[in-house]
């Protein structure tokens, strides 16, 4: 899937799935991007961009390589 085709709603759906599957505990950014890679059937560099987008949308907080889902 092309990164440009992934909508903000797709990111929200992914984070909901991730929280249901892994819980809302904080994880390493590599764990999040690896899950994004599989979920969106994309590559690692694109997943890094998606994580950055999630941060800019205030859906996650990334501090020192640790991701915390902040969306409600």
Residue spans of the domains in the chain: they are: 3-69
pTM of the model: 0.91
Residues 11-35 pLDDT 10s: 999 999 999 988 888 999 999 999 9
Q: What SS3 class is residue 25? A: coil
- Kindly report the CATH class assigned to 3-69: mainly alpha
User: What distance in Å separates the CA atoms of residue 8 and residue 31, rounded to the nearest whole number?
Assistant: 20
**Considering the chain, what percentage of its residues have pLDDT values greater than 70?**
97
Phi-psi region of 23 (alpha: psi -120 to 50; beta: other; left: phi over 0): left
């Amino acid at each position: 899937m092309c990164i440009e085709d992934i909508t903000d709603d797709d990111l929200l759906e992914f984070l909901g799935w991730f929280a249901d599957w892994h819980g809302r505990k904080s994880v390493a950014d590599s764990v999040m991007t690896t899950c994004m890679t599989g979920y969106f059937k994309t590559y690692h560099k694109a997943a890094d961009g998606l994580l950055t987008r999630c941060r800019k949308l205030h859906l996650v907080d990334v501090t020192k390589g640790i991701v915390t889902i902040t969306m409600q």
